[in-house]
Structure 1
């Protein structure tokens, strides 16, 4: 008995010693970097739910970074979104409480980090808006300060399919308190830094004056594998609270002062300044006279041209090829052409007027080798590529619209020519041709667009339509949005083309006008236009919805109508809450081979469904669509970058 008791005591002491020696390992352990798991809303990674409670304190002062974007660009709006004290936030960023930040500017945010179960988090709330899904809320609204899995875990009664505008969500923000190892080393604070595409661990550490090894250690990363991903958080250990000077680039040096102007002394007192004023007034008066005369000639010419072509067919559906060899022409036509060239040059300084000989030279006398399609030829003018289109009839509306609008996503009209009663419009050349060539896969070279390119194209078209709906002198309706009228440049950015049917909506965005002249492309035309002749910007919204349906499925509108008499029927299986992702495989373009974020694809399908509603009042405006697609594009880019970095 005397020998057994000490052995048992030794065993007990050994167990206690082992337990006590192993406990600090979990207490002192750093936080594992979560990686790209944040974009997987259906996963079950514990690290995505938050940083593990392993510090000395259950609550502490912590810091976050946030990249401002509308509508969160002010001290007040960012503080409200992230549940921060606006006075502390303004003080930390060295700005007033009424200050605004530039878009994508890095903002430091103070927060109180506390234990919640087995995780650290800082809590805030968010009211769901139209089109929100968990992934866009986490990655776009909160810029990666939370994760979709974490938000779902905090709101178990609201599934991804049951989010509705007005729902209030509890949002767990990613934060942590220092471990014993960190405090012993003099690190008193942890900063949750949201990673941008160009960031690296060494760059982030350098900005905050922290040893890169300590940052790697804090996130359980190694020098051999320091890979980080955009829209995820990296813990940065700090000895002192962060300063805005650590993340704000120093202002550029002031420009050198220009040398003082050399002026000659005025002769005859102030007579020279008076002479200058007289000259200016004379020049302005002469310019106004020339402008007025030009407008009168322009209007007279177009009236004459319209009368001569009154019996010709609608130019909007003229896609026949043409023989462009110059024929003997009458002197009268040539004189009219010259009159037009002179008049239009006065009122359209940005629009070049070409001679027919210049266009012949540009297209090798309209050689078949330069033919693109229909009545469009590829030409080279002064070394630059151009698309040259022959048109008949009154093209004044298209010229007028394109000449007074300027937008990256609208095809640019660079010049015109009038010859023998025919118009030749010279446009910028979109080297990759119409979108229809890329989504139907009918050519031998099997052109292909990936997920992000498709979203960017949809975003570009929405941006262009939003411009003509809301930012021109009066709202315009394109009336013929389709894949053949969306052209792609060398970077696969989309340009809306063919404004032959465009017309003024005659009022504010969403208002209706009536017409009896129904023209357009079958399958894209809105029901209210076909049935009643109603014209409004919501027509373009419907056509845009059909266009997005083609982009998603890789099928043209005729093929879709062969399978579904009502366009929205194709979306029913995809939007089904239980069968959505299973039906998605059959719905999406097979050439994508599953390389797309399923959650976002369903989100886009919902957006399409809202665009093609029969009742135009139930469709969103292009401004709303643009906002949703901007979120989708940002999240898609992050998804693509995460996959490319990981070698997916």
Structure 2
């Protein structure tokens, strides 16, 4: 009778599971998110989601870390994993850290509480697929749509960036007083109940109800209040019964064998029926999702240009009063319909509007992030943004910058120009760049990290004064971690390349590489793929005579034709080596760098002067 009772319990569970599946289909996904208020809870906060390793793409910490823009160690430590490179078991539970914020969407929806995760669209991706599969229902496709109004869900470009809002919440003051340090985001499954969750997480049923209410449906995101993260117990295969126990129970097993076989047959038929029912529900749900996206595609197909243009304009509407808005026909006329002969570099064109020259940058993505950064900065050593344009037909965005006459530092150091920069001009350029970086690091709140300092992003004006350009990769705020590594090989700081650490110190490292270019005239990476900064070990070691000898071997041959102070060159090399320290904490700040460079003996002219003519700052070849 004991065996029969167990089978009946299992049968009841299967019936309830089937009912839950039907209920899930009837209810559908939850709303666009969870409302929040910064007056009721402490935002932003760090919290965690419970994520399950998923075959075939997410069975290692690297791929999961990339999905959530965190490093492997930050997942391994709370998940009690010692080896960060070993493969994971399918369905293995992990605690993944996220930064939760209260974000304003629009006047209709208001504020939603979520962690904004950047995701690069791949072939076959849809908002629904990525939300339900990659992020395992920790968000919904409806929420992704409202957070990304500039993207058309049925026409996603491969390589474009989307923000996926992973649902989360921050504790309020009452919860913090009750020692609730985290509200862990957890996807509620059909087999779950609040009692089992309370036991698993070391919480209480009432505290879970207080946060989530008492009407949770399967695949909703629920928030589990905990004072500390519990240990994770992974699924294991139940051990076989001991031989002695089998002998003791042999008599009861023989008696129940007939009953068991009969019940097993009935259960097999029932499970097969349940499986077919489940498959039918899933196919129906998938078809429903495709129908929804098809309807949106049909609507977008009828008026794609208008909708895309409106979305882009809405996204940058905050900046309409700060910058001039150019018309697309105005830009086409200025660039001879974007003629290739007017390309300055990449997708940047030279254009003339009302007799004034501009640099016009064509972008195939929304310019919101770059505009958000640029509207915060205003400095003589940063290229000035004059305005922008939205193309209503192609939904492209154009940024219109001041035209910087003498091109990039890279072209002067490594191009085919007949003239080469003299030492004083190179030193002046280094100080200009340092001043620009000091401004964005020290005088913006939150701090701005450029993330792509290199000689081709340093432009020289008519008086050979340097301006930092291209804030396309810049980030507002630092000391973050990402697995989406961007930048230019040869300039990337080691801690960013290995662990994805974003800080102002990565700009300092890149600036150190630029100083090496100014001294040596060599490229940041040679034809064999070897980086310049890896070759400087030991340059300033030994006696003074040895230092001078090594510096002469390092210096650009055109500088050796000048009469310059070797002490000045050694001083700049000392600054460069400090910037290139492997330990970010040992790198100097840009304030210290500006001070050190300005002490050079070769900087005879007043640091506040406007500059000199190009002819006076070059050395004839």
Normalising by structure 2, report the TM-score: 0.49
Normalising by structure 1, report the TM-score: 0.47
